């Protein structure tokens, strides 16, 4: 099997594992949005909804519905952007931060359990290579 097929197979398996053990409070798509907020421009800084939609590869109307749900659940705050009244600035609430921390811990536990039979050197090598792959893919995406 080629490397690209092995990667696709591994990512699909990870997705199924996360789906099967999905937390009650956050869907994978909720988590994908929430995790971008503190990382996008630094902890506590606001992110524009249209920038988030672009970075996630979603139509702005789809992102708007997702954000409305997260706001209704008290996980994010949406404030009108003073520079563009059609846009919103997004920040995580304290509840949103807790939800992200809990989901991260759950995911770490799932991966730790899945790799428990691997030795430390193999886990470290996997982490190093995945980090390198992610950096390479992000660089390619940014260059477009």
- 124-143 pLDDT, tens digit per residue, is 999 999 999 989 988 887 78
Look at the chain and report how many structural domains it folds into: 1
Residues 6+ apart with CB under 8 A from 95: 73, 74, 75
Q: Over 90: is that where the pLDDT of 72 sits?
A: yes
| Look-up of token digits 């994978």 | 28
How many Å is the maximal CA-CA distance in the chain?
Answer: 53
Tell me what pLDDT residue 14 has.
Answer: 86
Residues 110-125 have pLDDT tens digits of: 889 989 999 999 999 9
CATH number at residue 95: 1.10.10.10
Q: Over 50: is that where the pLDDT of 40 sits?
A: no
**More confidently predicted of 138 and 24:** 138
| Look-up of token digits 């921390």 | 101
Quick count: other Cβ atoms within 10 Å of Cβ 68? 12
E runs forming strands in the chain: 47-48, 76-81, 84-92
Task: State the residue range of the domain holding 34.
Answer: 3-143
pTM of the predicted model, to two decimals?
Answer: 0.75
Q: Chain centroid to CA 60: how far?
A: 17
Q: Token digits for 110?
A: 């799932």
Rounded Cα gap, residues 92 and 107, in angstroms: 20
């Amino acid at each position: 099997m080629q490397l690209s097929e092995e990667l696709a197979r591994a990512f699909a398996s990870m997705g199924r594992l996360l789906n099967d053990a999905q937390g009650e409070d956050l869907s994978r798509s909720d988590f994908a949005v929430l995790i971008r907020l503190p990382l996008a421009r630094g902890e506590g800084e606001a992110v524009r909804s249209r920038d988030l939609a672009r970075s996630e590869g979603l139509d702005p109307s789809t992102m708007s519905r997702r954000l409305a749900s997260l706001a209704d659940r008290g996980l994010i705050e949406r404030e009108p952007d003073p520079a563009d009244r059609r846009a919103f600035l997004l920040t995580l609430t304290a509840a949103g931060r807790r939800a992200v921390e809990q989901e991260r811990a759950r995911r770490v536990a799932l991966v730790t359990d899945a790799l428990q039979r691997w030795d430390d050197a193999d886990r470290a090598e996997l982490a190093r290579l995945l980090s390198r792959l992610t950096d390479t893919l992000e660089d390619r995406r940014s260059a477009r």
